[in-house]
């Protein structure tokens, strides 16, 4: 069995993935399964930072679409990511690996506030880092937060665990004839306007030469498989 291909990775976890079969919120069974995979990867010796999404709780654009205030909606979305991060920390902790939540928005009663130097200290202490609050700014996404933190933390790769098992010629949920790419460049994703990740996140990864690997977080063992260079995924690099 090959060991991990990477020394330090940023795992972007879709908020919606944490819902399991529910229509809203957090399914503890799913959180426990993902936590177990993170712990397995940690035991391979990989340094892991996680950025959690919040789409299972709140999306600012939905508020705006109904005539509400986008900025307030986005802050609610960021708070949703803090809820997910706390649930994941508790699940990883319970499996015997220390984990810490670092939020872009200060909520000192619940978690630490992110600083790059503080986060590096936690890596040196062999902890799993869980980044909450996205970038801390409205009008951004947690994908952009993931690309930003991957650059700040010097990660070798950004692994996007999402609803689909890679990047397709079109959204596979809408177009059943769409076919999956094995490999693409960041520039091709932008030029073809492939919507699996927002353009700001892809551009930031491109400018910092960070490969992005898109895989399905719904398949058990997929995170560790990707770390070992196995399983179904699309690599965006070059
Ligand atoms: N070209 C494409 N290839 C793959 N997925 C795509 C593509 N275009 C749109 N999508 C959609 O993008 C979704 C992933 O993006 P997003 O909803 O932001 O996920 P996440 O919640 O993981 O951040 C997939 O579930 C898929 O339906
Ligand atoms: O830097 C950020 C990250 C997130 N959000 C808000 O938080 C919500 C949840 O994040 P996202 O949609 O990226 O979650 P995911 O799709 O990964 O579950 C977004 O819709 C935004 O409203 C934001 O305003 N700024």
On the question of pLDDT at 148 being above 70, the answer is yes
What local confidence, expressed as pLDDT, does residue 74 receive?
97
Taking CA atoms only, the protein residue closest to ligand 1 atom 5 is 196
Grouping H, G, I as helix, E, B as strand and the rest as coil, residue 68 is: coil
pLDDT of residue 63: 83
pTM above 0.90, yes or no: yes
Q: What is the dotted CATH code of the domain comprising 8-236?
A: 3.40.1160.10
Q: What is the mean pLDDT of residues 69-86?
A: 97
- Helix, strand, or coil (residue 62): helix
pLDDT beyond 80 at 86: yes
CB distance 163 to ligand 1 below 6 Å: yes
Using a 10 angstrom Cβ sphere, with 0-12 exposed, 13-18 middle and 19 or more buried, the burial of residue 229 is middle
Distance CA 62, CA 45 (A): 40
Two structure tokens written together for 11: 């795992």
Token pair for residue 143? 């994908």
Domain ranges of the chain: 8-236
> Is residue 72 a contact partner of residue 151, using CB atoms and an 8 Å limit?
no
ipTM associated with this complex: 0.97
- Classify each residue of 95-133 as buried b or exposed e, where b means 16 or more C-beta atoms within 10 Å of its C-beta: eebebbbbbbbeeeeebbebeeeebeebbeeebbbbbbb
| Gap from CA of 196 to ligand 1 centroid (Å) | 4
What average pLDDT score do residues 69-96 get?
97
Pocket test for ligand 2, best of 53, 57, 161 (most atoms within 8 A of CB): 53
Give the strand pairing for 212-216 and 234-236: antiparallel
Q: Residue 166 above 80 pLDDT?
A: yes
On the question of pLDDT at 206 being above 90, the answer is yes
Centre of ligand 1 from the C-alpha of residue 144, in Å: 14
**Pocket lining for ligand 2, CB < 6 angstroms:** 14-16, 53-55, 59-61, 73-74, 77-78, 80-81, 134-135, 137-138, 140-145
């Amino acid at each position: 069995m090959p060991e991990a291909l990477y020394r330090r990775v940023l795992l972007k976890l879709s908020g919606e993935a944490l819902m399991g079969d529910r229509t809203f919120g957090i399914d503890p069974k799913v959180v426990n399964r993902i936590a177990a995979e993170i712990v397995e990867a940690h035991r391979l010796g990989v340094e892991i930072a996680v950025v959690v999404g919040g789409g299972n709780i709140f999306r600012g654009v939905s508020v705006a679409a109904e005539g509400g205030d986008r900025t307030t909606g986005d802050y609610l979305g960021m708070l949703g990511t803090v809820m997910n991060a706390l649930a994941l920390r508790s699940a990883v902790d319970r499996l015997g690996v220390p984990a810490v939540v670092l939020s872009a928005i200060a909520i000192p009663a619940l978690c630490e506030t992110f600083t790059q130097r503080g986060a590096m200290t936690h890596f040196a202490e062999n902890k799993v880092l869980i980044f909450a609050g996205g970038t801390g700014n409205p009008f951004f996404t947690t994908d952009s937060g993931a690309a930003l933190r991957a650059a700040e933390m010097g990660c070798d790769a950004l692994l996007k665990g999402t609803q689909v098992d890679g990047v397709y010629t079109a959204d596979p949920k809408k177009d059943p004839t769409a076919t999956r790419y094995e490999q693409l460049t960041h520039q091709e994703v932008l030029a073809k306007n492939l919507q699996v990740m927002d353009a700001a996140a892809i551009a930031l990864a491109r400018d910092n030469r960070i490969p992005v690997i898109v895989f399905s977080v719904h398949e058990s063992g997929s995170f560790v498989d990707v770390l070992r260079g196995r399983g179904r995924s699309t690599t965006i690099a070059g």
